[in-house]
Amino acid sequence: MALKPLIAGNWKMNGVGASLDEARAIAEGAAALTSVDLLLCPPATLIGRMAARCAGTPLAIGGQDCHTEIAGAFTGDVSAAMLADAGASHVIVGHSERRTLHGETSALVRQKAEAALAQGLVAIICIGETLAEREAGRTLAVVIDQLQASLPAGADGHTVVIAYEPVWAIGTGKTPTSADVAEVHAGLRAELVRLLGADKGAPVRLLYGGSVKPSNAAELMALPDVNGALVGGASLKSADFLAIAAAV
Ligand code: PEP
pLDDT digit string (tens) for the chain, length 248 residues: 789 999 999 999 999 998 999 999 999 999 999 999 999 999 999 999 999 999 999 999 999 999 999 999 999 999 999 999 999 999 999 999 999 999 999 999 999 999 999 999 999 999 999 999 999 999 999 999 999 999 999 999 999 999 999 999 999 999 999 999 999 999 999 999 999 999 999 999 999 999 999 999 999 999 999 999 999 999 999 999 999 999 99
Atom of ligand 1 nearest to the CA of 95: 3
Identify the pLDDT of residue 64.
98
CATH number of 6-238: 3.20.20.70
Domains of the chain, residue spans: 6-238
Identify the pLDDT of residue 1.
76
To test the pocket of ligand 1, the residue of 124, 181, 212, 215 to mutate (highest count of ligand atoms within 8 Å of its CB) is 212
Q: What is the pTM assigned to this prediction?
A: 0.97
What residue owns the CA closest to ligand 1's atom 7?
Answer: 232
Nearest-angstrom CA–CA distance, 138 and 120 = 34
Closest Cα to residue 201, out of 148, 245, 128?
A: 148
To test the pocket of ligand 1, the residue of 40, 231, 235 to mutate (highest count of ligand atoms within 8 Å of its CB) is 231
Spell out where the chain has E strands: 6-10, 37-41, 60-63, 90-93, 122-127, 160-164, 205-209, 228-231
Per the DSSP assignment, residues forming a β-bridge with 79 are 67
Identify the pLDDT of residue 2.
87
Q: How far is the CA of 230 from the centre of ligand 1 (A)?
A: 7
Q: How far is the CA of 26 from the centre of ligand 1 (A)?
A: 18
What residue owns the CA closest to ligand 1's atom 2?
Answer: 232
Residues sharing a CB contact under 8 Å with residue 207, sequence separation 6 or more, in sequence order: 6, 8, 124, 161, 162, 163, 164, 226, 227, 228, 229, 230
